[in-house]
């Protein structure tokens, strides 16, 4: 008799069936007493008050296939750097409109670093003569704010994008989609961390006048460049793609250099553009983020799927979006990261979590790939055992193991990919995010780097919305 | 003047059976007067308050309460330390450098161990989620959890049928698959009889009788006590019958059930008729044979001799028919209670119960009545927030003492189920309670013991312990019930 002809998958002809248990330990002990192979789950009750929604969503007949489809699309997406354009051309961004990281927010509730970045962007666009004027105009509601995510874009930290800024354009060939991200300004006092002094605005002008056109020429003449493949390689070179991008940045530079050097620009400008790009360890972050954005976009909008397609913070709120619930945000107050501080800064100087960069964790790298980057613990705190445990714990809340992103020390196991709202609610395990820390006060800049999780309440809220759609 | 300690540990979950053992350990510490280590469920908070502990505001079912009262601070500290030690011993070992953490969900455990079966015993309100998870991972499910709604049961069983796996339960106490005993199960020999059980203790009784008769089972597939009710429509029974019919080790099938709904039974009988092997029915109900009699019919049909069922009859009990009080049956096994009640009702008439034969015979919430009473302590209503009485016999022990003090109680009929999962030394505690009950009054006590010589507790050893306390002991639940009835005679 063939395997398929036997009822219950041949359960009754199994030699000595092995058993998984959840609940009373006594029963697992009784099985061990019979020398039966037992795997006990360390079961704990789900997040409070979620039983009915869990049962509803798990019983949704569409869910298994919807999640399989979402996951397959997510991992099948490609990400090639195909163009560099100004935001007004790339996104049709209108003068007076500013994009920002995270879920929607107004000036009233915006945190220090986001306000600082808005001020800097207003000055950069020449919409005000000084910071006081800019702040007054912003508070008066003169300008329009919109999340980057609403335009298929992502921005690290404050994520503020204005029409004149240049953006990388990445394309997913399989799903015919584009995603965009601003250019990285380097570390220290930079707009994305809320600084808006003259050196910040001057740098933005130089990036617009010199760096952007050179990068555009490079990509258009020698591109496209396969960013997903760089991601796969850098994970095997000690990067996790969120807070450690050293190998990725060098590999990217290697691709860009020939086209930069032959660009139509003065040799002084080219030399400065190359020096600037090479000096920045996070140069690659602004490519890794839109690559993950393309992956999560491909997984978005599948009815019945409980896969998380966005995690993003604006410095006040942390928001998630889920494949099966469309464009609705589920938010909670952003946590403040814990980690290591630069110079004299301490925990009191840190702003709550900010930035679209958690798209890396949403896409299966960053904190989820910590085991690939044990050196990261020198930067964000913790120890190496923690890094290994962090990645392995994330398998409990994800749908699969990434076919391309692998962790050598875990025997080349794929990174945990595709956060499942249901698994987060059931286990109470929250996604592990590696992040930079912005100063609480507008204009400060970066104060440290560390580890953070989303506020738990985003997930039961998303689950409830999934339950109403069953 | 005693000292009290209460602390709340948020998000520190342990199962109720484990905590019962931890509480007992702490209570045994020198100088400790009272101790309770429990999750702060509504019921447990009530219990703690009743014990005189103040539970902090805002405690919820996911929070652990450690409450100790002792003679002095040192004893309190010793009690708390004992709790810590017992809890950490129960916790899963934390992974060493680079070790993967323990799986946290049923599906994760199934995948980690390549399991074919998931045994789920989480509190009822979480059980549907875990069962769906297991079905999704392609495993058959033994769902020990009770307090699962009938709507969820139907939904689970339909999902299981689509995935070609079996849901055994909810409220499934026993199963045996390929020689692996799941939940409460006795150690019996293997043989050609396949069993489908909509009754845990009913199946255990039949397996033990078969074992005593020298016949073994191939598999025992539980289906949950409601499977033969109209609302569920025999969904799992059908799947189980088909699987056993296709199993080369099974040559005939016995279906055991609490009282089924007629049309479901009729449907299943006609379905079974087409399976090509004998299917026999031990389905309880008025006018139908009791479990022992049904099993004797199976033996005869198999061409097997019916043995004399083991018994240990006490001497010194009152003469037959001489007792004036009523029958009080205190059971842990629901089907054993049903079996006894159906049999006793033939001669006694109305019997009050929490699982009554007719709605108008239902006991009030105090479970008290002057007439004949049979109580199932394993019923859903009595297990919310606490372990099954086969693990935690406290409620029944209290009731035995109460019956002994009640002059309207004429004879005590008890059950005791041995095997894996059950209390490790149930006879010792029960014998003590029986001795106490018989102190200072004439009270015949009859115990129906479901067990085998191969069980960890041992049938003969158990029976002799109980007999030494003055109880009469029978392997057959029918014979135990009949013996209890002889005392009442015409006086009832």
- Flag whether residue B239 sits within 8 Å of chain A, measured between CB atoms: yes
Q: Torsions phi, psi of B442, nearest 5?
A: -90, 115
- Flag whether residue B457 sits within 8 Å of chain A, measured between CB atoms: no
Same fold, B106-301 and B311-491: yes
Which pair of structure tokens corresponds to residue A157? 């930290």
Mean pLDDT across B326-352: 95
Best of A10, A20, A56, A428 to substitute, by most chain B Cβ atoms within 10 angstroms, is: A20
What DSSP letter does each residue of A353-391 carry, written as one string? -EESTTHHHHTT-GGGGGGG-GGGHHHH-S-HHHHHHHH
Q: Contact A58/B249, CB-based, under 8 Å?
A: no
Q: Which residues contact B165 (CB under 8 A, 6 or more apart)?
A: A8, A9, A11, B135, B138, B139, B140, B141
Spatial CA neighbour of A240 closest among A249, A231, A227 = A231
Would you say A371 and A377 are in contact if contact means Cβ atoms under 8 Å apart? Answer: no
Mean pLDDT across A31-37: 93
CATH of the domain at A446: 3.90.1700.10
> Considering the domain B106-301, what is its CATH architecture?
3-Layer(aba) Sandwich (3.40)
Would you say A209 and A173 are in contact if contact means Cβ atoms under 8 Å apart? Answer: no
Q: Which residues contact B134 (CB under 8 A, 6 or more apart)?
A: A20, B106, B107, B110, B118, B120, B141
B159, closest residue in chain A (CA to CA): A59
Q: What is the pLDDT of residues B367-407, one digit of tens each?
A: 999 999 999 999 888 887 777 888 888 899 999 999 999 99
**A23, A393, A428: residue with CB nearest B101:** A393
Residue A170 domain flag:
yes
Q: What is the pLDDT of residues A224-282, one digit of tens each?
A: 999 999 999 999 999 999 999 999 999 999 999 999 999 999 999 999 999 999 999 99
Residue A394's domain comprises 64-74+295-468
Q: What is the pLDDT of residues A93-137, one digit of tens each?
A: 999 999 999 999 999 999 999 999 999 999 999 999 999 999 999
End position of a domain, from candidates A288, A312, A339: A288
> Considering the domain B3-90, what is its CATH architecture?
2-Layer Sandwich (3.30)
Rounded CA separation A361/A147 (Å): 19
- Flag whether residue A466 sits within 8 Å of chain B, measured between CB atoms: no
Residue B97 is predicted with a pLDDT of 67
Residue A389 is predicted with a pLDDT of 92
Helix (H, G, I), strand (E, B) or coil at B2: coil
End position of a domain, from candidates A288, A306, A341: A288
Residue A325 domain flag:
yes
Contacts of A400 in chain B (CB under 8 A): none
Residue B19 is predicted with a pLDDT of 87
Give the long-range contacts of residues B45-53, CB within 8 A, separation 24 or more: B48/B6, B52/B4, B53/B4, B53/B6
Spatial CA neighbour of A362 closest among A405, A320, A316 = A320
Which pair of structure tokens corresponds to residue A249? 């940045």
Residue A195 domain flag:
yes
Q: What is the pLDDT of residues A418-451, one digit of tens each?
A: 999 999 999 999 999 999 999 999 888 889 999 9
Distances, alpha carbon A324 to alpha carbons A67, A206, A345, in Å: 9, 42, 42
- DSSP single-letter state for residue B258: S
Rounded CA separation A131/A176 (Å): 41
Mean pLDDT across B122-137: 95
Mean pLDDT across A83-91: 98
Mean pLDDT across B232-250: 97
Whether residues A87 and A11 fall in one domain = no
Q: How far is A309 from chain B (nearest CA, A)?
A: 22
CATH topology of domain B311-491: Rossmann fold (3.40.50)
Which pair of structure tokens corresponds to residue A52? 């009915």
**A9, A12, A40: residue with CB nearest B109:** A40
Domain coordinates in residue numbering, chain B: 3-90, 106-301, 311-491
Residue A15 is predicted with a pLDDT of 81
Helix (H, G, I), strand (E, B) or coil at B302: coil
Residue B16 is predicted with a pLDDT of 81
User: pLDDT averaged over chain B?
Assistant: 92
Q: Contact A7/B125, CB-based, under 8 Å?
A: no
- Sign (positive or negative) of CA dihedral A219, A220, A223, A226: positive
- DSSP single-letter state for residue B338: H
Mean pLDDT across A457-465: 98
Rounded CA separation B362/B312 (Å): 33
Residue B90 is predicted with a pLDDT of 65
Q: Model's pTM, two decimal places?
A: 0.88
Distances, alpha carbon A346 to alpha carbons A77, A297, A438, A446, B399, in Å: 40, 37, 11, 12, 63
Would you say A175 and A141 are in contact if contact means Cβ atoms under 8 Å apart? Answer: no
Q: Which residues of A297-332 are buried (b: 16+ CB within 10 A; e: fewer)?
A: bbbbbbebbbbbbbbbbbbbbbbbbbbbbeeebbbb
What is the count of structural domains for chain A?
A: 3
Residue A52 domain flag:
no
Whether residues A27 and A109 fall in one domain = no
Mean pLDDT across A16-28: 94
Q: What is the pLDDT of residues A336-394, one digit of tens each?
A: 999 999 889 999 999 999 999 999 999 999 999 999 999 988 878 888 999 999 999 99
Whether residues A70 and A87 fall in one domain = no
Whether residues A224 and A152 fall in one domain = yes
């Amino acid at each position: 008799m063939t395997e398929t002809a036997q009822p219950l998958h041949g359960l009754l002809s199994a030699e000595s069936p092995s058993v998984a248990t959840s609940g009373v330990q006594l029963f697992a002990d009784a099985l061990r007493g019979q020398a039966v192979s037992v795997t006990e789950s360390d079961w704990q009750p789900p997040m409070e008050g979620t039983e009915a929604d869990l049962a509803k969503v798990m019983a949704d007949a569409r869910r298994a296939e919807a999640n399989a489809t979402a996951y397959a699309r997510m991992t099948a997406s490609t990400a090639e750097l195909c163009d560099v354009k100004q935001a007004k051309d790339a996104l049709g961004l209108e003068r007076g409109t500013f994009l920002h990281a995270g879920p929607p927010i107004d000036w009233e509730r915006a945190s220090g670093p986001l306000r600082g970045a808005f001020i800097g962007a207003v000055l950069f666009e020449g919409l005000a003569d000084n910071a006081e004027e800019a702040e007054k105009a912003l508070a008066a509601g003169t300008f329009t704010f919109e999340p980057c995510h609403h335009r298929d874009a992502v921005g690290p930290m404050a994520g503020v994008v204005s029409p004149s800024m240049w953006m990388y354009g990445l394309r997913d060939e399989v799903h015919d989609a584009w995603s965009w991200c601003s250019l990285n300004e380097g570390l220290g006092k930079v707009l994305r961390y809320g600084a808006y002094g003259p050196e910040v605005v001057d740098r933005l002008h130089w990036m617009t006048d010199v760096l952007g056109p050179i990068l555009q020429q490079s990509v258009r003449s020698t591109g496209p460049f396969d960013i997903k493949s760089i991601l796969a390689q850098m994970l095997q070179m000690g990067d996790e793609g969120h807070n450690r991008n050293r190998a990725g940045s060098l590999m990217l530079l290697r691709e860009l250099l020939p086209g930069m050097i032959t660009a139509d620009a003065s040799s002084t400008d080219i030399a400065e553009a190359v020096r600037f790009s090479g000096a920045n360890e996070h140069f690659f972050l602004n490519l890794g983020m839109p690559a993950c954005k393309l992956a999560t976009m491909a997984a978005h909008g599948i009815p019945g799927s409980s896969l998380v397609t966005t995690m993003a913070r604006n410095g006040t709120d942390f928001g998630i979006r889920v494949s099966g619930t469309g464009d609705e945000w589920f938010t909670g107050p952003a946590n403040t990261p814990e980690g290591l501080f630069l110079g004299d800064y301490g925990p009191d100087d840190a702003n709550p979590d900010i930035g679209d960069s958690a798209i890396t964790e949403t896409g299966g790298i960053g904190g989820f790939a910590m085991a690939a980057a044990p050196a990261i613990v020198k930067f964000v705190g913790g120890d190496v055992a923690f890094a290994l445990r962090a990645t392995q714990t994330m398998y409990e809340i994800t749908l699969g193991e990434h076919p391309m992103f692998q962790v050598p020390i875990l025997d080349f196991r794929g990174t945990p990919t595709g956060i499942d709202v249901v698994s987060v609610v059931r286990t109470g395990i929250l996604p592990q995010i590696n992040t930079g820390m912005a100063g609480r006060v507008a204009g400060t800049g970066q104060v440290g780097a560390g580890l953070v999780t989303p506020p738990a309440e985003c997930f039961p809220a998303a689950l409830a919305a999934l339950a109403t759609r069953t | 003047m005693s000292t009290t300690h209460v602390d709340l540990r948020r998000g520190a979950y342990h199962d109720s059976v484990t905590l019962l053992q931890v509480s007992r350990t702490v209570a045994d510490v020198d100088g400790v007067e009272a101790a309770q280590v429990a999750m702060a469920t509504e019921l447990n908070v009530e219990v703690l308050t009743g014990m005189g502990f103040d539970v902090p505001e805002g405690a919820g079912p996911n929070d652990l309460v450690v409450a100790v009262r002792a003679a002095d601070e040192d004893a309190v500290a010793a009690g708390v330390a004992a709790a810590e030690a017992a809890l950490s011993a129960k916790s899963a070992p934390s992974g060493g450098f680079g070790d993967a953490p323990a799986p946290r969900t049923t599906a994760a455990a199934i995948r980690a161990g390549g399991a074919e079966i998931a045994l789920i015993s989480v509190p009822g309100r979480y059980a549907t989620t875990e069962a769906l998870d297991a079905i999704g991972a392609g495993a058959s499910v033994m769902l020990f959890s009770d307090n699962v709604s009938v709507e969820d049961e139907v939904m689970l069983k339909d999902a299981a049928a689509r995935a070609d796996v079996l849901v055994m339960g909810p409220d499934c106490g026993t199963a045996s698959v390929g020689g692996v005993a799941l939940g409460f199960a006795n150690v019996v020999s293997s043989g050609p009889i396949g069993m489908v059980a909509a009754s845990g203790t009913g199946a255990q009784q039949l397996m033990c009788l078969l074992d005593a008769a020298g016949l073994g089972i191939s598999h025992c597939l539980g289906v949950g006590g409601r499977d033969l009710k109209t609302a569920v429509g025999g969904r799992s029974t059908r799947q189980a019958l088909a699987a056993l019919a296709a199993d080369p080790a099974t040559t005939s099938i016995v279906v055991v059930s609490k009282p089924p709904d007629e049309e479901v039974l009729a449907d299943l009988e006609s379905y079974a008729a087409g399976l090509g092997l004998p299917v026999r029915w031990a389905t309880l109900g008025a006018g139908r044979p009791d479990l022992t009699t049904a099993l004797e019919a199976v033996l005869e049909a198999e061409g097997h001799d019916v043995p004399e069922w083991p018994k240990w009859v006490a001497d010194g009990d009152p003469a037959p028919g001489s007792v004036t009080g009523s029958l009080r049956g205190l059971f842990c096994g629901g089907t054993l209670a049903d079996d006894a009640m159906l049999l006793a009702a033939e001669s006694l008439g109305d019997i009050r119960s929490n699982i009554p034969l007719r709605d108008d015979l239902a006991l009030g919430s105090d479970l008290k009545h002057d007439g004949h009473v049979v109580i199932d302590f394993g019923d859903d209503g009595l297990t919310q927030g606490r372990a099954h009485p086969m693990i935690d016999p406290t409620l029944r022990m209290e009731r035995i003492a109460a019956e002994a003090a009640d002059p309207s109680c004429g004879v005590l009929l008890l059950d005791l189920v041995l095997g894996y999962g059950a209390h490790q030394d149930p006879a010792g505690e029960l014998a003590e309670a029986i001795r106490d009950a018989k102190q200072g009054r004439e009270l015949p006590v009859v115990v129906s013991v479901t067990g085998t010589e191969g069980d960890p507790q041992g049938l003969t050893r158990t029976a002799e312990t109980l007999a030494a306390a003055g109880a009469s002991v029978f392997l057959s639940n029918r014979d135990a019930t009949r013996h209890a009835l002889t005392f009442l005679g015409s006086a009832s």
